[in-house]
Amino acid sequence: MLFNSLHYLIFLPVVISIYFLIPHKYRWAFLLAASYYFYMSWRAEYIILIIVSTVVDYYCALLMSKEPQAKRKPFLLMSLFVNLGLLGVFKYYNFFTTSLNELFLAINLLNEIPGHTLLLPVGISFYTFQTLSYTLDVYWGKREPERHFGHFALYVSFFPQLVAGPIERSTHLMPQLKAPQKFNPDNVYYGFYRILLGFVKEVVIADRVALLVNTVYNSPEMFAGPQYMLATFFFAVQIYCDFSGYSDIAIGTARIFGIDLMENFRRPYFAKSITEFWQRWHISLSTWFRDYLYIPLGGNRLGMWKTYRNLFVTFLLSGLWHGANWTFIMWGAFHGVLLIMERLSHEYLTPLTDRIAAQRFNLVKVVITFILVNIGWIFFRANSAADAFYIVSNLFSGFENLSPVSAFANLGLTKSIFLFTLASICGLFLFQYFDSQKNIYKRFEHWNKLYQWTFLYSVIILILLMGVFGDESQFIYFQF
């Protein structure tokens, strides 16, 4: 069930109404049933995978709590084996078998490993990491296991963030799901505000720019440097609006129930370094990798070179988490190398970095960071590694006798829609800039109610008139 579907627009108010009408002691069961229905509306049989992960991690955590730290490892290994095994079979099996078959062919071996045709379960990477964080926290003694199976099952499958995050920690989300929540008009109002903001990002901007991005990236041999640059910039906008838009809708939906989800994005394209970018982009995932991979590997406690190794391994696996394709692995490796280079520059070029850090250079640093992030997006978006290298190698071609009409014609958007899209992107970045300076929502709260609702209804009309709906509207991160 997509957030931007009619099905969801009927589902959500019904669930909210029943949730606040029934007694608190029955709410967990109702919300769990609603969450399972939400997931099963996509493909019913795959709910078995969520239930298997839930049962295994629930009992592994209980069994670990009965043992001293030294004897907990078998139960942790069981949890890792089941969860990562399911993830591996459904998401990575074909990738690794295809890669091995290509290797066998290259070295003249006739052996061929058969693949499978199973459809990738929506959100499997997200809920797998969410439940694994719980098991690891219990293993390390950071929390006691949850005794109520239903409350734990709801934590794993809470529908607003089930299929694309934010990836919540049990210590943050579970107490809120168990606490009695009262209907609060302020929560409804803020939730509605965030949901509309998410819809603007998704259906007005992301799904619109996707038309141009798909045109160029699906046939790169037909275009040249100017089109690659424009399409890559548009993809940077698309993936940000798509994913942060989904997070906005998830956060807004949860807030209506009285539940606060963690912020997943904090204006990442305003970052002044790659390090800062990852403190602002997909925060729930980057902090997950920090806490459950980078730090257990040793973090920055084992010396400079092992720190660089840990950084590179973490981002290499982060790339693999995003998808079973060499393009994602290259994207992760690219960011790992950039972070190592940043640390090296701070290590050996301190006087230079101090000088660059002066206030008047902040805009330059933002622009440089944005350009580097866009180079990485080429690998992320390309359909294959060959396409990615082709685009990079021809990025500065085709500028001879350049005319705007010929360069940007036949890219999937009419002239008027193209100009509207550019205006929308500028409006989004201006909104984010002023929000960072003035906290627009806090000011908006003090408006006269008539003005507030006039503004919100105007946004709804904008979404209905300029949004992209139907088969062309989709969330990119559903595939992860």
- Same-domain status, 161 and 224: no
What pLDDT sits at residue 122? 85
Q: Are 84 and 92 in contact (CB under 8 A)?
A: no
- Same-domain status, 286 and 239: yes
Please count the other Cβ atoms lying within 10 Å of the Cβ belonging to residue 446.
7
How many whole angstroms separate alpha carbon 373 and alpha carbon 180?
43
- Same-domain status, 221 and 362: yes
How many whole angstroms separate alpha carbon 408 and alpha carbon 281?
30
What pLDDT sits at residue 353? 47
- Same-domain status, 103 and 26: yes
CA angle 133, 250, 420 (to 5 degrees): 130
- Same-domain status, 127 and 201: no
Domain boundary among 182, 200, 217: 182
Cα 200 to chain center, whole Å?
17
* pLDDT tens, N- to C-terminus, the chain (480 residues): 778 788 888 999 999 999 999 999 999 999 999 999 999 998 899 999 999 999 999 999 999 999 888 899 999 999 999 999 999 888 888 888 887 877 777 777 767 778 777 778 888 999 999 999 999 999 999 999 999 999 999 999 999 999 888 999 999 999 999 999 999 988 988 898 899 999 999 989 999 999 999 999 999 998 988 999 999 999 999 999 999 999 999 999 999 999 999 999 999 999 999 999 999 999 999 999 999 999 999 988 888 889 999 999 999 999 999 988 899 999 999 999 999 998 887 755 544 445 545 555 788 889 999 999 999 999 999 999 999 999 999 998 887 766 655 566 678 788 888 888 899 999 988 888 887 777 776 676 677 777 777 888 888 888 888 888 765 556 676 666
What pLDDT sits at residue 351? 47
Q: Are 61 and 145 in contact (CB under 8 A)?
A: yes
Three-class DSSP category at 422:
helix
What pLDDT sits at residue 60? 96
- Same-domain status, 198 and 177: no
- Same-domain status, 371 and 280: yes
- Same-domain status, 149 and 235: no
What residues are annotated to the active site? Answer: 322
- Same-domain status, 30 and 50: yes
User: Per the domain annotation, does 119 fall within a domain?
Assistant: yes
Handedness of CA 283, 285, 289, 295 (dihedral sign): positive
User: Per the domain annotation, does 1 fall within a domain?
Assistant: no
Closest of 84, 90, 81 to residue 45, by C-alpha? 90
Residue 347 structural domain: 187-479
Q: Are 408 and 224 in contact (CB under 8 A)?
A: no
Domain boundary among 153, 182, 211: 182
Token pair, residue 344, equals 């090296």
- Same-domain status, 217 and 233: yes
Closest of 430, 265, 268, 273 to residue 362, by C-alpha? 273
Structural domain count of the chain: 2
- Same-domain status, 228 and 171: no
The number of helix segments (H) and strand segments (E) in the chain equals 23, 0
What pLDDT sits at residue 154? 97
Domain boundary among 131, 166, 182: 182
User: Per the domain annotation, does 40 fall within a domain?
Assistant: yes
- Same-domain status, 158 and 294: no
User: Per the domain annotation, does 118 fall within a domain?
Assistant: yes
